[in-house]
């Protein structure tokens, strides 16, 4: 009897993806804005997730440095974006917020680069640094900054990235309530109205999550870079030209809450001595900047550093400064309550209805790497600081982001006798 056996094997490839992350920044959202007005959608986010009263950001409390800290987990002296304006003595060049040359940004590895290096997809809808090529990478999708794009349009695009494109990590940036805080001050009726408006924007985002079944798939992390305080440039102003012979200074960089100074050769001590007894400012030689700011060990921090008392401003032209009619500023000591930002999070890896202890903005980077299951680059943060509200702590193994396995199924065993 001639018997033949036909064995047909069918294999099924299954990919189990890590949960996605949407990191949102609402610029200049001071922690206590949420106590000044009813915010039902922020409450909704907190009740379904985790909230900190505030987080401790880095010094200086400026937009570009603090945002780059959030996505690198590095102090500003470590990642090198030490101001919205800064001078690099090696480049002999000055940086401003329109500069996306790679050489300025390579001091840190942002989340979107960490993700791409480990075969995840990343996208940014505006974020400081995201327009630059960093360590050979850009996000898979990124946008040139355009402040005029309506907030709801930004959200609609991000939802498409999360659903249709299955982007693993998305960054989303809003320039409010920072712009309103600068114009009218943190205690103004206008900031109350803007916080209400941002609550509605958050509600729109949460509704989109619900309607697209993303609530149990995507970890939504909402934070900010810094707070805001009231200023008075007509009366609370320190003009350094009233106190130091400007021939002793090659050039200053920046103004307002902080100023950096490059003295003429051999005149550092002379400049410091001229300014050290001026009221309402603190003056430091670079090597004497306090350790707790982690703002000393970088070549872009200049030989003399000035910090204004809260609410005061530093200038080299008080007449010009008096023409500025803004009522709010930031950049001051990060230990001030007025400089501290918000933090809320919700998602499959986040505890519900939980209030966490205060942690640091440098701790956000390792937390997100943990959620995504990727190995973080060297950083100053600590995963322990956020572990109390993480439901699942990933392995931080680069292979953990996608678990692939073969399921063997014997479909047909046909024996023909």
pLDDT in tens, 26-70: 999 999 999 999 999 999 999 999 999 999 999 999 999 999 999
**Cβ neighbours of residue 109 closer than 8 Å, sequence gap 6 or more:** 72, 134, 135, 377
Question: What tokens were used for 313?
Answer: 């401003």
Identify whether 229 is a catalytic site residue. Answer: no
154-201 pLDDT per residue, tens = 999 999 999 999 999 999 999 999 999 999 999 999 999 999 999 999
pLDDT at 322: 80
pLDDT average, residue stretch 382-401: 70
Question: Does pLDDT of 260 surpass 70?
Answer: yes
Lowest-confidence range among 83-92, 127-136, 279-288, 386-395? 386-395
Q: Are 68 and 110 in contact (CB under 8 A)?
A: yes
pLDDT at 4: 40
State percent of the chain over pLDDT 70.
90
Q: Which domains does the chain have, with CATH numbers?
A: 15-230+334-401 (3.40.720.10), 237-325 (3.30.1360.180)
pLDDT at 32: 99
pLDDT average, residue stretch 356-377: 98
pLDDT average, residue stretch 278-293: 99
Question: What tokens were used for 112?
Answer: 């979107």
Question: Does pLDDT of 294 surpass 70?
Answer: yes
Among 58, 61, 63, 386, the one annotated catalytic: 63
What pTM did the predictor assign? Answer: 0.90
Q: Are 226 and 177 in contact (CB under 8 A)?
A: no
Q: What is the band of 399 on the pLDDT scale with cuts at 50, 70, 90?
A: very low
CA distance 397 to 369: 10
Average model confidence (pLDDT) for the chain? 92
Strand partners, 239: 315
pLDDT average, residue stretch 205-229: 98
User: Which residue in 280, 315, 245, 298 sits closest to 289, CA to CA?
Assistant: 298
pLDDT at 283: 99
Residue 370 three-state SS: helix
Q: Which residues of 319-352 are buried (b: 16+ CB within 10 A; e: fewer)?
A: eebeebeebbbbbbbbeeebbbbbbbbbbebbee
Question: Does pLDDT of 398 surpass 50?
Answer: no
């Amino acid at each position: 009897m001639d018997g033949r056996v036909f064995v047909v094997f069918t294999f099924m490839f299954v990919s189990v993806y890590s949960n996605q992350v949407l990191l949102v920044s609402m610029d200049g959202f001071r922690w206590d804005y949420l106590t000044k007005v009813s915010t039902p959608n922020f409450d909704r986010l907190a009740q379904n997730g985790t909230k900190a009263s505030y987080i401790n950001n880095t010094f200086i409390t400026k937009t570009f440095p603090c945002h780059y800290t959030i996505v690198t987990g590095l102090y500003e002296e470590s990642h090198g974006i030490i101001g919205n304006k800064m001078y690099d003595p090696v480049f002999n060049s000055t940086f401003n917020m329109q500069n996306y040359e790679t050489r300025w940004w390579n001091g840190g590895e942002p989340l979107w680069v960490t993700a791409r290096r480990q075969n995840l997809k990343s996208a940014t809808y505006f974020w400081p640094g995201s327009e630059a090529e960093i360590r050979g990478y850009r996000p898979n999708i990124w946008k040139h900054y355009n402040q005029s794009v309506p907030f709801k349009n930004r959200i609609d695009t991000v939802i498409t990235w999360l659903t249709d494109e299955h982007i693993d990590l998305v960054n989303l940036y809003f320039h409010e309530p920072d712009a309103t805080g600068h114009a009218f001050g943190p205690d103004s009726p206008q900031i109350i109205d803007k916080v209400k408006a941002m609550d509605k924007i958050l509600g729109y985002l949460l509704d989109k999550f619900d309607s697209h079944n993303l609530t149990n798939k995507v970890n939504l992390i909402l934070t900010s870079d810094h707070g805001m305080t009231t200023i008075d440039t007509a009366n609370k102003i320190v003009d350094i030209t009233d106190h130091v012979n400007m021939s002793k200074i090659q050039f200053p960089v920046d103004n307002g809450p902080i100023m950096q100074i490059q003295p003429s050769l051999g005149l550092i001590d002379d400049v410091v001595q001229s300014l050290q007894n001026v009221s309402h400012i603190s003056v430091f030689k670079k090597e004497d900047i306090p350790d707790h700011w982690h703002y000393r060990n970088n070549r872009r921090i200049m030989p003399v550093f000035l910090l204004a008392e809260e609410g005061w401003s530093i200038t080299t032209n008080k007449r010009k400064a008096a023409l500025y009619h803004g009522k709010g500023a930031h950049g001051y000591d990060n230990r001030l309550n007025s400089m501290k930002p918000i933090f809320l999070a919700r998602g499959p890896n986040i505890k519900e209805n939980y209030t966490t202890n205060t942690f640091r903005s440098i701790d956000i980077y390792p937390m997100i790497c943990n959620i995504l299951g990727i190995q973080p680059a060297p950083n100053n943060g600590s995963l322990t600081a956020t572990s109390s509200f993480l439901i699942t702590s990933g392995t931080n193994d680069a292979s953990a982001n996608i678990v692939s396995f073969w399921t063997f199924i014997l479909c047909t065993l046909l024996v023909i006798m």
